[in-house]
Amino acid sequence: MATSSPIETAKLNRGVRRPWWSHIEQRLILGALPLQNKNHLDLLVQGEGVKAIVTMNQPVELLPNLLSTPVAPAEWENAQIAQCFGSTGDFTPPTLDTIERCVSFVHEQVDVQQNTTYVHCKAGRGRSTVVVVAFLVQYRDMKLEEAFEFVKSKRPHVSLHPKQRHILHKFSEKYSSAAGASPTSTST
């Protein structure tokens, strides 16, 4: 069976709607940038019970544009949602310090406070996936590959850039006694 080119794959997937967010665990949600014009604030807070959010976007990505209006940090604050910012450029890895800080926040919210937590970047595929995979490695005793495959089973369109895979491997070496192989995934 011949493999499809990226263009053919894109044509096949056109019109296929991906979920805006996916439940990874009972109190851990991985997703895309919440939009004000899609009522995501209410859907996440009232519908999903979100009480904390990790934002992996750069500040410029949170500004309104011609197509959408992201939920602003002030709106999350007004809704009394705990926030953690891990400002990272698209298709780049967060620093090890940023990953550690965000993972610690997720642990505090999910495991200690028992709060549903939403971790996002722009598309919910790369930067935010790094944080969720790292959390699973550190706090769920998963090997790196096992954690990545677990996330992928819940959100099939996650995709890590090679540099993101590399920083996850470094994180795994530091926090896991059973560091697995680097996740394998094609980046887009």
Residues annotated as catalytic are 121
Separation between Cα atoms, residue 176 and residue 24, nearest integer Å: 20
Q: What is the 3-state secondary structure (H, E, C) of 84-120?
A: EECCCCCCCCCCHHHHHHHHHHHHHHHHHCCCEEEEE
Residue 169 DSSP label: H
The answer to whether the beta carbons of residues 179 and 148 sit under 8 Å apart is: no
Separation between Cα atoms, residue 103 and residue 132, nearest integer Å: 8
In this structure, the number of other CB atoms found within 10 A of the CB of residue 179 comes to: 18
In this structure, the number of other CB atoms found within 10 A of the CB of residue 122 comes to: 18
Give me Rg for the CA atoms of the chain: 16
Q: Of 81, 84, 145, whose CA–CA distance to 116 is shortest?
A: 81
- What is the SS3 assignment for 55? strand
